[in-house]
Amino acid sequence: MPYRRLPNTDKARQRALAKALQMGNEMPPFKLAFSQGTLQKARFFYPIFDSAIQEYQNAYNFQVKKNKEYVNLMKRAKLYISHFIQVLNFAIARGEVTGESRKYFGIIEDSKRLPSLNTEESMIKFGERIIKGEQERIANRNNPMTNPTIAVVRVHYEKWLEAYRYQKNLQEIHNRALQKIADMRHEADKIILSIWNEVEESFSIHSEDLKRQYSMEYGLVYVYRKSEKNKQTKPIEASLNFYEEEIIENVHDEIETEVLSENEEELVYQTPFFAVK
């Protein structure tokens, strides 16, 4: 016996509400399988929910697009910071600069190791250190480092730092958009559940197979359990394919798990936040 599968992604919720509204617009009130009160709730809620999803998707896409530029700027800034310290070590090895010069940059005097620059925090830390340290070293009448000079390092570092701050701002916009959707999911599920319950109740006078077939015209989704898949009928098979498409689309959606039992359906969601450091 197939069971009804409630939407478990935001795109699926969108489709379920859109299908219900489509039927509400196409069917006269006396033939519609769910109440006018529920239809009005869906009509009021759907534009807000749809707008929130579009806002989130736009924020996500823009952040991903800008992240590619950000990564390139980060690699270049990291390269210049690393090269500056390497040139310092080479100059010390040739005897052109004393080992004491490392202290200007917050590096142990006899240390030849390059600092770890694997995080934004470490890049900010050492970027500020070498810019300030080289200025102090030159102010104490020492010859400036070249290839790269601190001026060139500073240009690339500050370009990356500006992009870093901008990317953090985009992340906050993205997170707010995602939270807005999360706050609306309960209401979306409540409206969809009301619609689907009323639709099934309207068609309850028919046989189970016919009831499911009519209900699916309103966007209801039915799936078989694994042990029952070989017994699928044609209309349910189409519904299962529709569900499988949802799973594929869900690769870029929030990670959501659904707990189902024989007599009740309970949805439990876990949503990771997209993070760009």
Place of tokens 């707990």: 259
Domain range for 79: 68-169
Task: Tell me, yes or no, whether 178 lies in a domain.
Answer: no
Pairing relation of β-strands 3-4 and 222-223? antiparallel
Q: Given 112, 140, 169, which residue is the final one in a domain?
A: 169
Look at residue 108 in the predicted model and tell me its pLDDT: 86
**Same-domain status, 165 and 72:** yes
Give the pLDDT confidence score for residue 11 in this predicted structure.
94
Q: Which pLDDT score, from 0 to 100, does residue 271 have?
A: 32
| Residue 174 counted as domain residue | no
* Cβ proximity of 232 and 224 under 8 Å: yes
Q: Are residues 162 and 197 in the same domain?
A: no
* Residue finishing a domain among 141, 169, 197: 169
Decide which of 135, 169, 203 is a domain's last residue.
169
Integer Cα distance of 175 and 179 in angstroms: 6
The verdict on whether omega for the bond into residue 148 sits within 30 degrees of 0, i.e. cis, is yes
Give the torsion through C-alpha atoms of 172, 174, 176, 178, to 10 deg. -150
Q: How far is CA 193 from CA 65, 128, 157, 205, in A?
A: 37, 56, 53, 20
Residues 6+ apart with CB under 8 A from 140: none
pLDDT (tens digit per residue) in 171-194: 999 999 999 999 999 999 999 999
Q: What is the pLDDT of residues 100-155, one digit of tens each?
A: 999 999 988 888 888 889 999 999 999 999 999 999 999 999 999 999 999 999 99
In this predicted model, what pLDDT tens digit does every residue of 33-65 receive, in sequence order?
999 999 999 999 999 999 999 999 999 999 999
Number of domains in the chain: 2
Q: pTM of the prediction?
A: 0.67
Q: Which residues have a Cβ under 8 Å from the Cβ of 118 and sit 6 or more positions away? A: none
55 domain-assigned: no
pLDDT of the residue at 256: 37
Residues 162 and 85 in one domain: yes
Q: Is 264 helix (H, G, I), strand (E, B) or coil?
A: coil
Q: Give the C-alpha separation, 183 to 178, whole Å.
A: 9
